[in-house]
A and B are shown apart, each in its own frame.
Chain A
Amino acid sequence: MEVNDKELEKVATEFNRIKEQMAFINTEEFLSSNEIIFIYKDQTYRVRKPTFGEHQDVYKFKMNYMYHLLKQKNEDNTPKYPSEKELCQVYLQRGIDIYSMDSRLKAYDIEIEKIKSILGESLTKDGIEDNELKMHKEKMLSLLDQKNKLNIERIKLLEGSIESLTNIEGLKYLTMLVIDKQVEEKQYNKLWNTVEELDKAPNELVNYCIYYTSLINDN
């Protein structure tokens, strides 16, 4: 059977429309209440909004974890985990300047705000040319892209620091607190009781849980 380009285009448009409708339905479901219910490998899970007490628990857990990392020593009695500042100094000795990355990120922000302001004002003027708007848009997209790449590079360089490790562990602890597993219709039990149990769970499930927890959380 021969299919021409027009028919293919029609099918692709319809496919994209259905895909968008499905995304709308799923997102509407996630927004309908302050909990997210999802199915992973035929099992239903629930992510609920953390309570004030649970936020306090996470804070205490993070403080304890940070203290635990600070106390860890190597065999030669040097600290096992570096702080963000120490890591910046080590990188500096190797020719990687995180402080200059911070300055460049700030410079990107200033430049982006400047273009935003010009573009915003242009949109209020009569008879503005599409070409002018597109030019500003392209410039902004390019700056946003450069800024995001630099930000990711900075985060990756510092992911071994005490601060970063504590944040990751804190998010895992929060996830562990708010994830429930359905045992009967409308009855849920806690899925994990410790972070160690979460660590042993399938990667994909943990990633879903952490992602949904970060969506539900308002802090």
Chain B
Amino acid sequence: MDILSTKRKMAKSAKWQMLYHNSKELGIRLFKNNDNFSGLQLSFLQDLAFYSSIYTDISLGEVSQKVLDSTIYEDAYMYYKVNKKYKTKLNDDTKSTKTKWHFKTPK
């Protein structure tokens, strides 16, 4: 049994996505422990957030439903999304520094 790929499939499932959203909104516990998470649990929480983001983007029409056909597509889309956000933020920061500050040579 490949635990890591099963963990990913679980995070993608409707059952665990529902539990994840309820845990955020209603405070339902996902695990027996509330803190001191194991590496496996932390990685599962990341997977849940990853798929939650993909499902939200599909419903907003930002990405095709086809993204769910393969883990390769899912990874590629999230990679593109994160990089696009980072580049936009970088551009915004450059623009804002250009307009906000004016340095003059003292007389």
Contact = CB atoms under 8 A, between A and B. Distances in A.
Interface of A: 20, 22-24, 26-28, 30-36, 49, 113, 115-117, 119-121, 123-126, 128, 130, 133, 136-137, 140-141, 214-219
Q: Majority SS of interface residues in chain B?
A: helix
Given A117-B80, A120-B80, A124-B77, A26 B1 contact: yes
A35 B38 contact: yes
A147 to B, nearest CB: 14
B10 A30 contact: no
B70 interface: yes
Nearest to A127: B64
Interface of B: 1-3, 6-7, 9-10, 31-33, 36-42, 44, 62-64, 66-67, 70, 72-73, 75-81, 83
Contacts, number: 107
Nearest to B40: A215
B64 A31 contact: no
Contacts of B63: 123-124
B53 to A, nearest CB: 13
The 8 closest A-B pairs by CB, nearest first: A120-B80, A218-B39, A119-B76, A34-B38, A120-B76, A33-B32, A27-B6, A116-B76
